Chain A
């Protein structure tokens, strides 16, 4: 069977299934939109870092929503492993590689509605009036910053058991969001803590988006952090994946 057609077919199924899940809608769409409105209600035009509060929080909330989508892929993998669905799929023409590809494409595609919703909200409420191209570029870089987190999601999916997966992934995403300066801007962290945060991948997703708005780009340091995390997490994910294949 045509591998592209198979992957496309399974991706469509995966996305349909996720998009109907109320938890996905709440955490990845509703929450970022509400939090943006709450955080920017008074001081949207104050300066924060190189830009104003409005665009700053907009990027933070967009990357939070995107993160919820790409990391929650892991929860679904864990669920499908323990429920025997993965075994069932291994008896079809769909290969493991196509399965994972579908998961990754699905995770990133479902990150888009969160970005779009927050961007539209920011524009419509007048808290971040940017050009269309700037929104597009900021969105792109937020997604680039998600690559190590998507890898992290897959690692969790093959590492944890389904009954723990929900709680673990919920806790992990909150921690990542905190460490990435989503809840509290990194500019307000003490210097030593800010240095730690800047060695973590989550920070760079938001930073990459904000740099675009400030008229610059993420820079080599940020790209290096993202690349190293992707490689390390990717190796770990590959290892737990291989172990899972043997056990099944």
Chain B
């Protein structure tokens, strides 16, 4: 019942970005007239051929550590103005991809270009900034001194006060960095990333260690920032964040892109909905029968609750009511990103591509599974 494609081609969908073509990208990234909210951004020097080039262009990038292929041929182009989530489980290659993107690690093969420049050059020009996972804050100096120092190393920075205000750390200015809490450190890192006034912001697990309100404030500020036509690429394993915030989701598994599309499209990859219902005394035999109903791709049970993952929930519901008239408390929900994530990033024994269509085999280790 598993439908496979001979080889997986990731959907290359641009997403609901505000800009797609190079022309639009240029207008967005380098507005013709300065405004109060979006002062004229300096890109690569005027007349530079890099002007208008894609903020991120990775082509066939690979990196192995010993026998492990951390990143195994990733190609990714991000047009200006797009907010892209790099989603994947631990070890999927998110951080290695980001390190190569920023020039912190050299790739074994493939090319990386940011705004048509080498990562090193793009960073030196202040076009790119990153919020790295862990570290990055020098101990025994105050937040303000740290930012002032970094500020002197960029060609067209914001003022320290402005970066602190935007990151919500103005009240921490006089504190020494080693005395900050985890969430505070993360916000100070955000300030360091805003400081060069970049066109591309790269965030590696940005909201780890933040509490719920800090997380909301962080995304609100990042959203404002991106609304000025700038580009954001962030790695996360908070699925809700990718769902809420990204225009486009790139799903990584074992160093490869297994899906690339809008949030809606990635969810559609799982194909369909989930039916939950109360049905007492379901034995293994009945559960297996439910799993074989038309439109159902997988059946599972937890106590008196059954859960049917469906490619065609209409057909499944009709069949369920006929098969088990005692069923009650019916609930049909759209499959969340969590489900897409589980399907597409399941262990590598599962082929990556089971897409739309009637037969989707869902392997979700978090729910009591019934072997048919």
| Interface residues of chain B: helix, strand, loop or mixed (majority) | loop
Contact partner, B124, options A1, A85, A87, A248, Cβ 8 Å: A1
Which bucket holds chain B's interface residue count? Answer: 20 to 34
A91 at the interface (CB under 8 A from B): yes
Tell which of B102, B135, B196 touches A85, judged by Cβ atoms closer than 8 Å.
B135
Whether B123 and A92, one on each chain, are in contact in the complex, defined by CB atoms closer than 8 angstroms, is yes
Query: Given A87-B104, A92-B123, A13 and B155 touching (CB < 8 A)?
Result: no
Residues in A with CB closer than 8 Å to B123 are 90-93
A94: Cβ under 8 A from any B Cβ = yes
Q: Which residues of B contact A196 (CB under 8 A)?
A: none
Contact A92 B138 (CB under 8 A): no
A-B contact count (CB 8 A): 74
Min CB–CB distance A167 → chain B (angstroms): 18
Q: Does B40 belong to the interface (CB within 8 Å)?
A: no
Q: Is the CB of B136 within 8 A of A85?
A: yes
> How many residues does chain A have at the interface if contact means C-beta atoms less than 8 Å apart?
24
| Residues 84-131 (chain A) with a chain B CB within 8 angstroms | 84-85, 87-95
Q: Is the CB of A93 within 8 A of B132?
A: no
Asked whether A9 is an interface residue with its Cβ less than 8 Å from the other chain, the reply is: yes
A246 contacts partner chain B, Cβ-Cβ < 8 Å? yes
Q: Kindly state whether residue A6 has any CB partner on chain B within 8 Å.
A: yes
Provide the residues of chain A in CB contact with B120, threshold 8 Å.
90
A181–B139 Cα distance when bound, in Å, is 35
How close is B324's CB to chain A, nearest CB, in angstroms? Answer: 57
A82→B126 CA distance, assembly (Å): 24
Contact digits for A171-213, partner B, Cβ 8 Å, 1 yes 0 no: 0000000000000000000000000000000000000000000
Instruction: Write 17 A-B pairs (CB below 8 A) sorted by A numbering.
Output: A1-B124, A10-B149, A13-B152, A17-B141, A83-B136, A83-B138, A84-B132, A88-B132, A88-B137, A90-B123, A91-B123, A92-B124, A92-B196, A93-B124, A93-B155, A95-B124, A246-B106
Interface residues of B (CB under 8 A from A): 99, 102-106, 120, 123-126, 128-130, 132, 134-141, 149-150, 152-155, 192, 196
Q: Which residues of A contact B (CB under 8 A)?
A: 1, 6, 9-10, 13, 17, 21, 79-80, 82-85, 87-95, 246, 248
Q: Which 10 A-B pairs rank lowest in CB-CB distance, beginning with the nearest?
A: A84-B135, A92-B153, A88-B136, A93-B124, A84-B136, A9-B152, A85-B138, A91-B123, A13-B149, A94-B153
